[in-house]
Each structure stands twice: as C-alpha cells, then as structure tokens.
Amino acid sequence: MLRHGNSTEYAAESSKIGQCGSFNGTNGALLLQRTAAANQLYEQNGRRDLPTLDSVRKLSRTNMADASAVMKEWRRLQTASAQTAVVAVPDRVQHAASVAVAALWAEAQELANESLNVAQAAWETERTEAEKQRVELSGAFDAQGAELESLRAKVTELQDAAIAKRRRQRGYTLTNQT
C-alpha cells in the first residue's frame, strides 16, 4: 500500500501532474498511484535523492513507459524551485516611494505644526491671564500699602490729638488746682 506524508501536498502535486498535456489520456487512478509511489520513496529517502525510475515502477506496479512519463513530470516539479530573484528597485517605483514619503512627511509636519500652534495659543492665553493677575495683585498691593499709610497717618494724628487733649486736660486741671 502506498503512503504519503502530507495528503494535501500529494493532492497538489498529483493535480499538477494530471493537468499536464501529455497525461490527459492517462487513467487518473494509475497516475495518482505512480505519483504517490514517487512521493513515498522520496520521503523515505529523507528528501535527499529523487527516487529512481525502476523503484517507482516496482512500487507502483506499472510498466516502464508509463512510469517514465510520470517521473519525467514529477522530477520537473520537484526540481523547479520558487526562488525569489533579487531585483533592484526600478526607478519609477523609487520615485513613487520618494513622492509618497515626501507627502507623508509633509502631512506629519503639518500636523506637528498645528499641534505646536494650538499649544502656543494655549500658552499665550495662560501667560496673558497670569500677567493680568500679576497687574491686579500689584495694584491691590499698592492700594493696600497706600491705605495702610493713610491709616497709620490717621492713627498718628489721632494719637497726637489724644495726647494734646490729655495735656490740655491736665493743664486745665493743673491750673484749676492752683
């Protein structure tokens, strides 16, 4: 009985081989059996070496011509690698990327400037309010200082008047007693 490690992989490879023009007339079950035999031998060998035509023919119990046709396509699929090619970035793509980055950078700067302007406006408003408070406090301090001086002068005047009144009363009293 034939086994295959990954049934999805097996189905995909078998499907690829089955779509080949040279295998259109081949019985699908026999084609799958030969492909499965090749896959099983390949897996058993640890994917190091491709199986021989004779080993696939023996395992799938088919004739050499049919095994050869299937193995030719199977080997092509196994050796075809999907390696990415290292290609320099075309000038048009580089230009488009530069334009996109420049537009992105301009937008980022515009957003940053808007944020900065909002912050500066808030700071300016706060500074103006602080200056108003400073002027009000300074004015209140000066007014309070002037009021304090006025009251001190009034207190001194009243004290002087009280002392003078006492002296007069004492003088009146002293003159009346003599």
Least confident range of 24-33, 99-108, 154-163: 24-33
Is the distance from CB of 23 to CB of 31 less than 8 angstroms? yes
Taking the CB of residue 36, how many other CB atoms lie within 10 A of it?
Answer: 21
Report whether 51 contacts 16 (CB < 8 A). Answer: no
pLDDT band at 27, cuts 50/70/90? low
Taking the domains of the chain in order of start, what are their residue ranges?
A: 7-79, 88-178
pLDDT at 173: 62
pLDDT classification of 19: cutoffs 50, 70, 90:
very low
**What pLDDT sits at residue 143?**
94
What is the tens place of the pLDDT at every residue in 53-96? Answer: 888 888 888 888 888 888 888 888 877 765 666 788 999 999 99
Q: How many CB atoms lie within 10 A of CB 14?
A: 21
Q: What is the mean pLDDT of residues 36-47?
A: 86
SS3 readout for the chain = CCCCCCHHHHHHHHHHHHCCHHHCCCCHHHHHHHHHHHHHHHHHCCCCCCCCHHHHHHHHCCCHHHHHHHHHHHHHHHHCCCCCCCCCCCHHHHHHHHHHHHHHHHHHHHHHHHHHHHHHHHHHHHHHHHHHHHHHHHHHHHHHHHHHHHHHHHHHHHHHHHHHHHHHHHHHHHHHHC
Question: Cβ of 18: how many Cβ atoms within 10 Å?
Answer: 15
Share of the chain above pLDDT 90, in %: 43
Confidence (pLDDT) at 178: 56
User: Is the full-model pTM beyond 0.75?
Assistant: no
Per-residue pLDDT at 46: 87
